[in-house]
Amino acid sequence: MVVVRRLLYSQKAAPYLFIAPFVITLLAFWLLPLARTFLLSTQEVVFGQAAFIGLDNYQRLWEDRLFWKAMFNSARYMVLTIALLIPIPLVLAALINSKIGSDRVKAVFKASMFVPALTSVVVAGIIFRLMFAETGTGLMNQIVGVFGLDPVRWLRIDTGGLIALLALAMWRWTGVNILYFLAGMQSIPEEYYEAATIDGASRLQQFFHITLPNLKPTIVYVTTISIYGGLAMFLESFMLYRGNSSPNDQGLTVIGYLYRRGIEQNDLGFASAVGVVLVVVIMAINLTFLTLSGTFKKESAR
């Protein structure tokens, strides 16, 4: 007991004790599974029997046209969701944070925008599949019918399916990103805006010269999780297309491809290689972005 008490009250050991739960969790639920996945990616698993084949799965992956199509679909979705889900919520958050409008109306708007994030992806996917139905009774076809256009087979064409996925992403995550940006804006000292107003700066100048620079950490965070969310998207496409099959594989994502090879075709070694490559790609993109944004720079160097 004396040794334990000394250890608990030791100033040298205290930092390690505080970070121990995080380190243990990281090892148990991230690093060890990742190492096991990499080991599995170097094997051929048939009926529970594993045989070492080196990097053959990665060679097959490199030569697989369908993998690159899935990677292109995921990368395109990621880029477009970032292009939509960063500036639009940012502008809406700025409007909510401004002194324009009633506080009660703003509160209702914030609550209503956050509700979609609480909705199940399964339910949301079914609703949007009905909205983008190719029949004339679908909501989107009723809208285009107002302009005298013929019904569109939304989920049968590449552009239509992409629009449906982006609409679903906008509906689900706009409110969440608004709250992120709103929290960042409310942490900016009000004195900055008061001084800018005295100097004659307009609201637009204050937004670009005060709000945006001080929101940089929040923007970096939202962009980072959006990169991961875009490349790891699966369930939205799965529900929208009623499964993992879509016309010309236009809705196939990297996770969907992993699911197809690992679960549907029982090729666990190859699916593990897909997972390892996806992790490497996500880490490379995020580390590059964080480096270019100056996140790893010391405070004194800024």
| Residue extents of the structural domains in the chain | 66-123+153-301
Q: Quick: pLDDT tens for 14-62.
A: 777 778 888 898 888 888 998 999 999 999 887 778 888 989 999 999 9
Total length of the chain: 302
- For 66-123+153-301, CATH number? 1.10.3720.10
DSSP 150: P
pLDDT in tens, 160-190: 999 999 999 999 999 899 999 999 998 999 8
Rounded CA separation 110/93 (Å): 9
Judged by DSSP in three states, 48 sits in coil
Q: In the block, which residue shows the tokens 């937004």?
A: 207
Arithmetic mean of pLDDT, 136-154: 88
**pLDDT above 60 (res 122):** yes
| Residue with tokens 């529900």, as numbered in its chain | 239
pLDDT digits (tens, 9 = 90+) for 221-255: 999 999 999 999 999 999 999 888 889 999 999 99
* pLDDT above 90 coverage of the chain, percent: 52
The dihedrals phi and psi of 41, each to the nearest 5 degrees, come to -70, -15
Tally of CB atoms within 10 A around 232: 16
Q: What is the pLDDT of residue 285?
A: 95
* pLDDT at 302 (0 to 100): 44
Report the C-alpha gap between 271 and 259 in whole angstroms: 7
